Amino acid sequence: MSERDTPDGDAFVRDADETLRGAYDPPMSLEEYVDRVLTNPTAAASGARYLLAAVESQGTREVRERGERLERYRFFDDPFNDGEHAVLGNTGALNAFVDDLRAAAAGRGSDETIVWIDGPTATGKSEFKRCLVNGLREFSKTEAGRRYTVEWNVTGAGGGGNGGGAGAASLSYGDGGNAGAWYRSPVQTHPLSVFPKAVRESIADAVDDDAYPIAADVDLDPFSREAYDHLESVYRDEGRRDLFSAITDRDHLRVTSYVVDVGEGIGVLHAEDDGSPKERLVGSWMGGMLRELDSRGRKNPQAFSYDGVLSQGNGVATVVEDASQHADLLRRLLNVPDERRVKLDKGIGMDLDTQLIVISNPDLDAELDRHAEREGADPLKALKRRLTRHEFRYLTNRRLEAELLRREVGGPRGVPTVDGVEDDGEAEESAPGDDPARDPASEPGAAALTIGVRDGDGGVTERELAPHAVGAAALYAVVTRLDTDDLPAGIDLVEKAELYEAGEIRRERGGEEERVAVDDVEFGDGDGRNGVPVTYVRDAVAELLGSDADRNHPELPVERVVTPTDVLDAMAEGLSDAPVFSQAEVAEFESRKSPVAERVRERQRADVVDAILAAETVPEATVAEYVEHVYAWDADEPVETERGPEEPDALTMKVFETETLGRFDESDYRGTDPAESVAAFRRERVIRALTRYAWRNRGDAFSVDDVELGEIPELKAVLESNDLADVKRRFPDLDPAEWADPPADTETERVKAATISRLVERGYSPASAELTSRAVMRSVRDEWTGLTADGGADGSRDSDRPRGDRGGRNGGGRTWD
């Protein structure tokens, strides 16, 4: 950076000024505030309505969870912080929470306005709280989301006299104050509460918002009432007929906006907070202040601390974290939603407007059920009836679990933002290749993750979670959370996880492609309640990252690479030592590792085989050209080219069928004219497939150009088929046994060099590419030996079968006959 480009201190100060300028409104009069409410009712919204407006302000997006399409509120993606505290998954529970807000904001369901967020550890409950705080804070900085309260100044009232014992400096709290000071309501009271009740109701009637009433049913807080009563006493003694105008004159009262945050509109009671119930809920009396203030023979509300959770959360929301630690308070909260009022003291009450939210682990269930056997005499029965429970569960979507694990292991800089754009930093996903169909990052958790790990000397060593390592951990974690009791015949746990992620699975059965949609299968409701939490996986991965693996290479830092096998082994081996799992769970979770490991090996094999055959892959344009010529050949019509209409190219079709498909040879043609077997193949396998596709996608018009070639099974097999038989056919002198250290000037050496280079282009590091390709080649040695020189596995001529039927990555391949 040049000297002239270096910012100075003034530039940062100006940036700060600009930031704060947009976060607040200048103080306004009560009349100006009422005008604003009439045009924008959100300015006087109740706590529940304000929270609802904040959530809705970010709109929605469509997601898939448990295989179903759901509309999700972007607010819970933590958009203001690039998704740092996004609530992953649990969209159904979040939508139900918003429904509760909507009912409370509309004045419905008043007996069910204590929201209960319940679930085991590491299910996103803390992220939910952070997301609320972040979202409400940022919403309150916007023009549409301004939140308002009142400030008081009694200076000058009654000519500066004592006015019945309350002098110019009598309005204060905390450490006292000076004459001329403005004091904000310590509990964020609504400005409309200044008006008499009848006038508040008239304002509410004038607001054009029938769906959601404004907060016109709350009275002044005790502190503000002290100021109001003092001013009223002074100006009534003076005989003022415009008494309300005198009390609310701009010199005494002003409406100010504030940024909603913890302590100002959001109250949060933590597990470690202590004190008496009243101290935790509302606040406490300050003895020194009571002695200093002229309290006229009673407790003066100016001497109250107003630091309880309800005082802090008045105006917006009150959150009780780890509610089982504060079970004694829950019964005291019972009447708050109904009466909307609490007491500072026997004779001093305070109106409340706050959305109550309690967050707990499942141990709160046991606390609430302590007296369940007493049935009608259960003292907690009324409380349980008022709690609306929303259950957060462990994720059952591998994509979301992989994102969560990246966040846990790599920190927020290792997680893509809510817009799908990756951040830069010490932990980041490797850049994907140009071809998404063969890009390891195209599958959930498949991309590599590089992380800087500090060593004992204070330096930073770069470690790599190899491609598929995060995905393997995520899939294993998800599989442990799935019930087996509801598995239908033919569906295993890995396929169940894929159904939840994608909504359907496709597989080969009897030579035909079978599609199973999640709607075709009836699953129970137990998934996600138990299983391995992400914190366990995080700790297992962190331990692997903290030490070098027991392997070496003369040139590559393979000891710094954490492979998918490393992760799965660590997760399985650590189960028995983890105190959170029972012996039965350990045995069950260990048994679920094998199918996950097999699926990961399939993905690694596909990566390596695709990289080996990258130059051999049939471009879609080549397949499209073949289809167009076959279609024209069958219809006896010309083919449109850049040079104009031409006859279908018989040589183009022959070359495709003999070399690309590997199905026919010279004996099946007379020159370039097809024999009957070739003609039948074209009509029955290619043209019929086109006809079926055209019928399924019928419309006003159809042409070959409209065909999605990958949707036609016969052609999809050609486009996607890369398997071991293809490798042997293309590279007959390759020897998998020599892959680890291939002799010089051999086909194995040349193929390996090209393969490693392509894997690196697609997101692998040289070290992880070396390890992965070695593992794949080691696993295929026996299979390779059984293949014939021309690619067949049974001694038959491989060209008798198309490329899509040579034992492809999905099993037996596709039959064309």
| Residues 417, 65: Cα–Cα separation, whole Å | 19
Q: What is the DSSP string of 287-313?
A: HHHHHHS--TTS--GGGB---SHHHHH
258 within 8 A of 140, measured Cβ to Cβ: yes
**Centroid of chain to Cα 13:** 35
Please write the tens of the pLDDT for every residue from 583-596. 999 999 999 999 99
| Residues 347, 355: Cα–Cα separation, whole Å | 25
Residue 458's contacts (CB-CB under 8 Å, 6 or more residues apart) are: none
SS3 635: helix
Residue identified by tokens 């609306």 is 388
Specify which residues 461 forms β-bridges with: 453
SS3 481: coil
At residue 515's C-alpha, the angle toward residues 509 and 518, to 5°, is 130
Looking at the chain, the whole-number percentage of residues with pLDDT higher than 70 is 80
pLDDT at 432 > cutoff 50: no
Enter the DSSP assignment of 77: G
pLDDT at 764 > cutoff 90: yes
SS3 262: strand
Stretch 225-240: mean pLDDT, rounded?
A: 92
Listed in sequence order, the DSSP H helices in 546-582 are 564-573
Stretch 59-72: mean pLDDT, rounded?
A: 90
Alpha-carbon torsion (452, 454, 460, 462), positive or negative:
negative
| Residues 201, 191: Cα–Cα separation, whole Å | 14
What amino acid occupies position 334? L
Which of these, 77, 82, 80, 81, lies nearest to 124 by C-alpha position? 77
85 within 8 A of 130, measured Cβ to Cβ: yes
Output the CA torsion 745→750→756→760 (10° steps).
110
**E strands, 412-564, in order:** 428-429, 449-454, 460-465, 504-509, 512-517, 561-562
What is the pLDDT, as a whole number, of residue 754? Answer: 95
397 within 8 A of 89, measured Cβ to Cβ: yes
Specify which residues 505 forms β-bridges with: 516
Residue 524's contacts (CB-CB under 8 Å, 6 or more residues apart) are: 483, 485, 486
Residue identified by tokens 């029965």 is 381
What amino acid occupies position 41? P
pLDDT at 573 > cutoff 70: yes
Enter the DSSP assignment of 211: S
207 within 8 A of 199, measured Cβ to Cβ: no
**What tokens appear for 723 in the block?**
């398997």
57 within 8 A of 73, measured Cβ to Cβ: no
What is the pLDDT, as a whole number, of residue 698? Answer: 52
Please write the tens of the pLDDT for every residue from 616-634. 666 777 878 888 898 889 8
pLDDT band for position 427 (cuts 50, 70, 90): very low
Please write the tens of the pLDDT for every residue from 179-215. 458 999 999 999 999 999 999 999 999 997 767 888 8
Angle between helices 398-410 and 493-502 (to 10 degrees): 90
Q: Which of 56-65, 431-440, 465-474, 766-775 is predicted with the least confidence, judged by mean pLDDT? A: 431-440
| Residues 556, 551: Cα–Cα separation, whole Å | 11
What is the pLDDT, as a whole number, of residue 614? Answer: 82
Please write the tens of the pLDDT for every residue from 374-421. 666 665 666 777 888 999 999 999 999 999 999 888 875 444 433 333
Which of these, 66, 132, 93, lies nearest to 388 by C-alpha position? 93
pLDDT at 813 > cutoff 50: no
SS3 444: coil
**E strands, 660-731, in order:** 669-670, 673-674
**What tokens appear for 245 in the block?**
């105008």
571 within 8 A of 586, measured Cβ to Cβ: no
What is the pLDDT, as a whole number, of residue 709? Answer: 61
pLDDT at 177 > cutoff 50: no
What does the mean pLDDT of the chain come to? Answer: 82
pLDDT band for position 711 (cuts 50, 70, 90): low
SS3 281: helix
| Residues 604, 776: Cα–Cα separation, whole Å | 7
pTM of the entire predicted model: 0.79
**What tokens appear for 796 in the block?**
């038959």
pLDDT at 816 > cutoff 60: no
Higher pLDDT, 642 or 495: 495
**What tokens appear for 503 in the block?**
């909504």
**Centroid of chain to Cα 147:** 28
SS3 169: coil
Report the chain's C-alpha Rg in angstroms. 35
**E strands, 263-418, in order:** 265-269, 317-320, 341-345, 348-351, 355-360, 387-391
Which of these, 476, 483, 475, lies nearest to 398 by C-alpha position? 475
| Residues 495, 479: Cα–Cα separation, whole Å | 10
**How crowded is residue 761: how many other Cβ atoms within 10 Å of its Cβ?**
17
| Residues 139, 146: Cα–Cα separation, whole Å | 8
pLDDT at 172 > cutoff 60: yes
Please write the tens of the pLDDT for every residue from 319-375. 999 887 887 888 788 778 878 899 998 889 999 999 999 998 887 776 776 656 666
The β-bridge relationship of strands 60-65 and 68-73 is: antiparallel
Which of these, 103, 155, 110, 101, lies nearest to 132 by C-alpha position? 101
183 within 8 A of 155, measured Cβ to Cβ: no
What is the pLDDT, as a whole number, of residue 289? Answer: 81
**What tokens appear for 528 in the block?**
């996600």
Stretch 40-44: mean pLDDT, rounded?
A: 93
What is the pLDDT, as a whole number, of residue 740? Answer: 94
